[in-house]
Amino acid sequence: MKTSKQTRSDINENQRLDVWLWASRFYKTRKIAADALKGGHISVNNQRGKPAKTVKVGDELRIKRFPVEFTVTISNLSDKRLSASLAAGLYVESELSQTARQEKLQLLKDQRQGLRYDHKRPGKRDRQKMLSVKNQIPDFD
């Protein structure tokens, strides 16, 4: 009998990493998730991730998505893409990761405060100023 719940909580089950990243809504498609894995933006238990690598409940992932980085622990598996509220139940983000992510986003927001042009489109000089500020933003890798 098939249940309406789309998640699996059996610890012995394994799943492909690219499928889990897609199902948990970190990436819009499996192809984008696979490209991120091939580019080295995701590590599993402090080892470089590959698309076909199998993950299980309890594995720790570090996901770098510019400008932030997530450190999550897999709490559930799903082979189907879920709604955002259900997908958030597939992982637990660490407190340190949450605070670091919020600080980085606040830093970026503060740096952009002086770059609002409500009265006109930016001209050449304005674009140069924006580019110089953008180049001063620290690299988060």
pTM, rounded to two decimals: 0.70
Contact criterion met (CB below 8 Å) for 77 and 8: yes
Instruction: Give the model confidence (pLDDT) of 82-141 as tens digits.
Output: 999 999 999 999 999 999 999 998 888 887 776 665 667 778 888 888 888 877 766 554
Rounded CA-CA distance 68/47 in Å is 19
Q: How many residues does the chain have?
A: 141
Regarding the domain delimited by 1-93, which CATH topology (the fold level of the hierarchy) does it fall under?
3.10.290
pLDDT of residue 109: 83
CB under 8 Å to 27, separation ≥6 — which residues? Answer: 21, 33, 36
Place of tokens 């450190």: 71
Is 120 exposed, middle or buried (CB count within 10 Å of its CB: 0-12, 13-18, 19+)? exposed
Per-domain residue ranges of the chain: 1-93, 95-141
Q: Residue 79: which of 18, 12, 1 has the closest Cα?
A: 18
- Which pLDDT does position 115 carry in this prediction? 62
- What lies within 8 Å, CB to CB, of 66 at 6+ separation is 140
Region of poorest pLDDT, from 6-20, 21-35, 52-66: 6-20
